[in-house]
A and B are shown apart, each in its own frame.
Chain A
Amino acid sequence: MEKQPPAWSRLLDLSDKALAVLLLAPAGLLLSLIIVYPVLRLIYTSFFSLSLTSGLPAEFVGLENYQLMIEDPVFWETTWNTVLITLITVPGALVVGMGLALLANLPFRRQWPVRLSLLIPWALPLSFAGLIFAWFFHSEYGVVNDVLSRFGIEGVIWFNSPNLAFAAICLTIIWKTSSFMALIILAGLQTIPRSLYEAADVDGAGRIRQFFEITLPLLKPAIVVALIFRTITALQTFDIPFMMTGGGPGTSTATLAMYIHQNTVSFLDLGYGSALAVVMFALSMCVTVIYLRIIRTKE
């Protein structure tokens, strides 16, 4: 009589494809639980009039929340602020981060102080950075106005002016996020073989030429990765303006994420808040798709 093969060995009889599906199933299930379900639920809620302060049950209203959004000046203002913050702080953090990475990559005898100082802004919680810089830019007790006065420049009330408040926020975000850019770029820099530069030296290429001909092209993958992460977090900017200005003066420095938080957590208008969040989700998706396209075409 022939012996039945043990149960586990039947797994091996499966085709490669079926096995792959089987082995991926737990991960797929987990992903759909923690990502797909909440996103679908968010989109679903955005079609309802669901306000906890109204005392009324949820009611299906179709696209009404989206229509309200188009007529809502605060939505446009906060979206524009968010886009502007992204357009200013992402390139800003890239340039500063690149500089910091090159500095940290210089052949100092002791590199750890440079690298440690790179890590500190990255390791600070966002809201903490916002709190610290709110004090830095305070018109009376702040260090920024104090430094300005030492150079004979009269201090300004940063948070009284939409433009100055916006500038203060962008500077803070660049300070906070450039170290993250620097860390990724530094890792990229260290994969570039020394021999390339030695060869360039022999060929008589100057430092600047070496940077543009060797460093930058070889850094491209690291830069793109850093840019994707930074752009998406920039679109979700919340903590730093929340702690620094609370969106003020008026609503001139409020971001879309702050407006979502206000509608859902403070006003308890879950329907409208969800619709706003769907827009932010769509914005992040668009940006990711654009970046991925760029990488593919480049390859």
Chain B
Amino acid sequence: MNKSVVAGALLSASIFGLSAPAFADTELKVYISSQHQPQVWRQVLDKFEAANPGTKVTIETGGNTSEAQAQYLNTIMSAKDSSLDVLILDVIRPAQFAAAGWTSPFEGKDMSVYLPAYAEANTVDGKVVALPAFADSMFLYYRKDLLEKYGIEPPKTWDELKAAVKKINGGENNADLQGLSFQGKAIEGAVCTFLLPYWSQGKTLVDNGKLTFDKTAAVNSLKLWKSMVDDGISKKNIAEVATDDTRKEFQAGNVVFAVNWSYAWAQSQGKDSAVAGKVGVTRLPAVAGGEQATCLGGWEWGVSAYSKNQDAAKKLVSFLSSQEASKHMAANGSLLPTYPALYQDADVLKAAPWFADAKQVVETAKPRPVTPRYNEVSEVIRTTVNAVLAGVTTPEDGAAQIEARLKRILR
């Protein structure tokens, strides 16, 4: 009966359909590494699309390690490819991307709303080159059940950790139970492995772009990790262990202590975890007489300098880095916020109660050297750590090699 209504609806639909391209004249492509929960970020992008009719955002994923991701982006960016508008970057990369002229700066952006470490990591030569996506740092995961069983407090020093492992191993008598799992493979995580005890001795590696390498502290650091292998605290093939191997071993219940990033928490509480409900998270131990230190992690959003939609891309990045988006990612993706206030937010704490204690750890976390040649610095440290743990190089030779090679890179 209402043919005319239907026809009118069809007509208006077709007009709307035809005119839609006129609205949706901006298409943005966002690069997100596949390990960073692109499906949860999609929910944030949907909110942005709803608030900005006419802008369509698509996701490109790839590279499930920091190195693989960097290699992909290095290829795209050195080809001056304009296909990506917004890029997610490991916290160690903004300096390199800015030096290469690959990201567009954000003029007059107030960075004081973020945790200071992230305001600093994204500011190069006084220019804001990227905005924080989420925070992260390394923590000590431990088996709450085992520590309680033997009446042990979470260790504050590495020596206490060794003593705790010896006590637990003596009582458990389980050959498959490893004392401590950390990253010994030549990956980015091994750089943090080296820096944790190094920083703990109160030393810095780079200060204001100048190398401030302390050889004694470096020898001590490498000796500490080697002693973990030699004393049977960590397993002999630790030089084969990458970040996610640590997570899997811990999750399978084969590890008392583990050094890992915040992402390991959600999975250790999952359905197929042997240790759900038995996991504690605390600050990483210090060397005897030193201060507790941890490695700053996290990821940032940058706008490609080759993007043809600079304004729209910057608007999107401002949204992705907003408190609203940060809260959504904290509550739905367990990603640590870069806004101090969110660590006390009721909705966030309901989803991830341990965030209440995480803020002070993130706040005291130290950034890895900020330099455009970070990839070279990283390569020197991680291959040396790997060689020392494999027993190919002594801690003394390793420290000497790091010093000699860093001097050439950061001269």
- Beta-carbon contact of A247 and B383 below 8 Å: yes
- Say whether B375 faces chain A, with CB atoms less than 8 Å apart: yes
- Beta-carbon contact of A266 and B240 below 8 Å: no
Interface size, B (range): 20 to 34
A140-B237 contact given A54-B372, A267-B376, CB 8 Å threshold: yes
- Say whether B386 faces chain A, with CB atoms less than 8 Å apart: yes
- Say whether A159 faces chain B, with CB atoms less than 8 Å apart: yes
**Stretch of B68-76, B139-147, B203-211, B215-223 contacting A (4+ beta carbons < 8 Å):** B68-76
- Beta-carbon contact of A157 and B186 below 8 Å: no
- Beta-carbon contact of A246 and B372 below 8 Å: no
Shortest CB-to-CB span from B99 to chain A, Å, is: 4
Shortest CB-to-CB span from A222 to chain B, Å, is: 38
Main secondary structure of the interface of A (DSSP, over half): loop
**Stretch of A6-14, A16-24, A249-257 contacting B (4+ beta carbons < 8 Å):** A249-257
- Beta-carbon contact of B78 and A268 below 8 Å: yes
- Beta-carbon contact of B74 and A139 below 8 Å: no
- In the assembled complex, the Cα of A162 lies from the Cα of B387 at a distance in Å of 9
Shortest CB-to-CB span from A46 to chain B, Å, is: 17
Q: Report the count of interface residues on A (CB-CB < 8 A).
A: 25
Of all chain B residues, which has the CB nearest A134?
Answer: B240
- Beta-carbon contact of B239 and A160 below 8 Å: yes
- 381-411 of chain B: CB within 8 A of chain A: 383-384, 386-387, 390-393
- Beta-carbon contact of A248 and B390 below 8 Å: yes
- In the assembled complex, the Cα of A246 lies from the Cα of B382 at a distance in Å of 11
- Say whether B236 faces chain A, with CB atoms less than 8 Å apart: yes
Q: Which residues of B contact A55 (CB under 8 A)?
A: 99-101, 372
- Beta-carbon contact of B74 and A268 below 8 Å: yes
- 202-261 of chain A: CB within 8 A of chain B: 246-252
Q: Which residues of B contact A159 (CB under 8 A)?
A: 237, 239-240, 390
Interface string of A47-67 (1 = CB under 8 A from B): 000001111000000000000
- Beta-carbon contact of B240 and A139 below 8 Å: yes
Shortest CB-to-CB span from A251 to chain B, Å, is: 6
- Say whether B96 faces chain A, with CB atoms less than 8 Å apart: yes
- Beta-carbon contact of B372 and A53 below 8 Å: yes
Interface string of B178-192 (1 = CB under 8 A from A): 000000011000000
- Say whether A138 faces chain B, with CB atoms less than 8 Å apart: yes
Q: Which residues of A contact B387 (CB under 8 A)?
A: 248-252
- Beta-carbon contact of A250 and B379 below 8 Å: no
Contact among B75, B237, B373, B384 for A160, CB-based, below 8 A: B237
- 332-380 of chain B: CB within 8 A of chain A: 372-373, 375-376, 379
Q: Which residues of A contact B71 (CB under 8 A)?
A: 265-266
- Say whether A149 faces chain B, with CB atoms less than 8 Å apart: no
Of all chain B residues, which has the CB nearest A252?
Answer: B392
Interface string of A144-168 (1 = CB under 8 A from B): 0000000000000101111000000
Q: Which residues of A contact B237 (CB under 8 A)?
A: 139-140, 157, 159-160
Shortest CB-to-CB span from A30 to chain B, Å, is: 23
Q: Which residues of A contact B373 (CB under 8 A)?
A: 53, 267
- Beta-carbon contact of B75 and A265 below 8 Å: yes
- In the assembled complex, the Cα of A249 lies from the Cα of B241 at a distance in Å of 12
- Beta-carbon contact of A157 and B100 below 8 Å: no
Shortest CB-to-CB span from B210 to chain A, Å, is: 17
Of all chain A residues, which has the CB nearest B374?
Answer: A53
Of all chain B residues, which has the CB nearest A159?
Answer: B240
- In the assembled complex, the Cα of A262 lies from the Cα of B186 at a distance in Å of 14
Q: Which residues of B contact A252 (CB under 8 A)?
A: 387, 392
Q: Which of B372, B390, B393 has the most CB of A within 10 A?
A: B390
- In the assembled complex, the Cα of A247 lies from the Cα of B382 at a distance in Å of 12
Contact among B100, B383, B384 for A53, CB-based, below 8 A: B100
User: Which residues in A have some Cβ–Cβ distance to B below 8 Å?
Assistant: 52-55, 138-140, 157, 159-162, 246-252, 262, 265-268, 270
The 7 listed contacts between A and B (C-beta, < 8 Å) are: A139-B236, A139-B237, A160-B236, A248-B387, A249-B239, A250-B186, A250-B392
Q: Which 3 A-B pairs have the closest CB atoms?
A: A250-B387, A249-B390, A160-B390
